[in-house]
Structure 1
């Protein structure tokens, strides 16, 4: 019967990848991370990728070692987070946004959360990076 086979397969998979069974061990998390990195590189369409990333997300949301990081992320405006990601991905610094945002000091204040991105700046960043304006809006 298919049900029994599915249960046996799931139990076998959990014995190999304990994080899938809800393990809270850092070792199991690290091994799951290595596995998902391999799968994404070599077998991106594997359904195991989705299962692993869901369990990794759960682990990262609940593990004490991620508490401070999760709190920082939660308090960061999405526009600022996107801006930081773009800076990292493209190797940019605060002076590289004069045309879209303004002077370095203004970019710095936005990154610190002291000022917000204007709609005009969001539109210009959207055009520059080919992404929707909506990603910058909280």
Structure 2
């Protein structure tokens, strides 16, 4: 019972939002021991990967689908505004 009360209190006062899309990609790359070239095979050109990771280019719908399907990153993490 106390555990449920603590959980509700934390959800109300300290909500945890979805992670930043770029940070989610970087985290998954680190987990899978990937480099930018590996990610370029999923997203397109290596220069495009650099632009995305430096936040100069936004993810397209096709990129989001590819990241979800090939790296198992949840859609919720990739669609959040950044």
Please classify the TM superposition score into its range, dividing by the shorter chain length.
0.5 to 0.7
Aligned length: 66
3-state SS of paired residue (1:113): coil
Which of 1 and 2 has higher RCO (CA within 8 Å, sep 6+)? Answer: 2
- Report the equivalent of 1:94: 36
**Could you say what the CA RMSD is over the residues aligned between the two structures, in angstroms?**
2.2
TM-score where L is the length of structure 1 = 0.42
Q: Does structure 2 conserve the Cα–Cα contact (< 8 Å) formed by 1:82 and 1:136?
A: yes
Which structure has the bigger radius of gyration? Answer: 1
Q: Which has the higher helix share?
A: 1
Structure 1: gaps spanning 5 or more residues: 1-46, 59-76
TM-score where L is the length of structure 2 = 0.67
- Report the equivalent of 1:130: 72
Q: Deviations over 1:67-106 (max 9, x none)?
A: xxxxxxxxxx811111110111111111112332111111
How do 1:84-123 residues align onto structure 2 when only pairs under 5 Å count?
84-123=26-65
